[in-house]
Amino acid sequence: MSAISFKIEAHEGTARAGVLTTSHGVIHTPAFAPVGTKASVKGISPEQLLSLGAEVVLANTYHLYLQPSEKIVQKAGGLGKFMGWTGPTITDSGGFQVFSLGVAFGKTISKFVKKTIEEEVEMKPAIYDEDIASQHGQLAVIDEEGVTFTSHLDGSLHRFTPERSVEIQHALGADLFFAFDECTSPTASYEYQREAIERTHRWALRSLNAHRHNIDANQKQAIFGIVQGGRHEDLRRESAREIASMGFDGIGIGGSFSKEDMRGALQAAMSELPEEMPKHFLGIGEPGDILEGIANGIDLFDCVAATRIGRHGSIYTRHGIIHLTGEKYKNDFNPLDSLSLPKSDFGLRSSDIRKSGGLTSTERFTLAYVAHLIRSKEMLGSIVCSMHNLGFILTLVAGARLAIIDGRFDEYRANFVRDYYG
């Protein structure tokens, strides 16, 4: 018996609205999971996350393993109790973080090439995590059993296998977690992508077996397999068929995409997956990409982008991203929320946002004031921008859910894309 249940409530084409029930509460899908990399969504308290409408958060296995260690989190009562979050939680496998310490992987050993943040963002626009950019962690050895890697914190040597990743995630205690996989560079050759998906499939089965043999964890936690295959649609279809056949509780769509490849790779994978399984698009958080995912039947999303760009003074608006460091915002005394997504614009009633606080905690601030905070490097500026961005994404996804239920998702999406991308 699975530790979760998933019920689809409404369809519009392949887009769907559902309810995912976990041992720590219900997730109304489609849903966005704010990322608390180190058991903390940067600058945002659990109470503030609830006020913004968040129902689930995702934390990072790699980072929590290194600091403070999964044993400490386990002693605290698991991830939720450790971070003061009472709702559902998700952890990734650690695979993406291990492999994304660099992009030049060989078959058995590779030294990572240090790149600028701008180059990394261009290569992996949707899921780049600046927390892993450091002078350490520049060596990984990949073999059939797993990967040996150096810590980005101090250069110390560590090893992940599928069984070890599952063991760590059992200790972290999240409601949903992912099988250990190999996340390749989008520029890797077709031959290497095939080799990597075959290894990912073997690791997926080992991860699943390790989980199913832990009776206690199996009753409390659900495990998702991950579809890989890079930009190649035939590999995505093959990987989706293989992962779906193994008996996972849900499916993750993983890997790095260029913008032009994402749609085809996503549609290829989704065409092979059982409709009844919950599906998570890993590391996807750009507004248009989220709506693309929802249109193709994705139920869950996560991404660091909302808080990452917020820390640097950039915010989502209904007409695209703006940068508050721009000169014109010094004397702009319009409220910050004037650039958000008014619920009325998307047919949202207060009852449609599970926690109806929305962005009310930032509405008192003007653009000029927040721009001043960012320029002055005041902590509050980063917090306000991060809250604004998370509220924007959570409101967007809540609106998409209601639009599916009302049978007007296509119109909802078209209106947003028109305004956002001009």
In 169-285, DSSP assigns E strands to 176-178, 222-227, 250-253, 279-281
* Residue in the block written with tokens 């403070």: 68
Q: At what angle do helices 409-421 and 379-406 cross, to 10 degrees?
A: 150
**Are 246 and 205 a contacting pair, CB within 8 Å?**
yes
* Residue in the block written with tokens 């989704």: 270
Distance of CA 271 to the CA centre of its chain: 21
Q: State which amino acid sits at residue 179.
A: A
Q: Which is nearest to 324 in space by CA: 283, 380, 285, 284?
A: 380
* H or E segment and range at residue 109: strand 109-111
HEC-encoded secondary structure of 340-409 = CCCHHHHCCCHHHCCCCCCCHHHCCCEHHHHHHHHHCCCHHHHHHHHHHHHHHHHHHHHHHHHHHHHCCH
| First CA to last CA distance, the chain | 48
**Are 351 and 293 a contacting pair, CB within 8 Å?**
no
- CB-CB neighbours of 111 under 10 Å: 12
d(CA 113, CA 111) in angstroms, rounded, equals 6
The residues carrying an active-site annotation are 92, 302
d(CA 238, CA 255) in angstroms, rounded, equals 15
**Are 244 and 198 a contacting pair, CB within 8 Å?**
no
Backbone phi, psi, residue 258, to 5°:
-85, 160
Let me know if 178 is exposed, middle or buried by CB neighbors in 10 A (0-12, 13-18, 19+).
buried
- CB-CB neighbours of 59 under 10 Å: 28
**Are 292 and 260 a contacting pair, CB within 8 Å?**
no
d(CA 255, CA 265) in angstroms, rounded, equals 10
**Are 203 and 180 a contacting pair, CB within 8 Å?**
yes
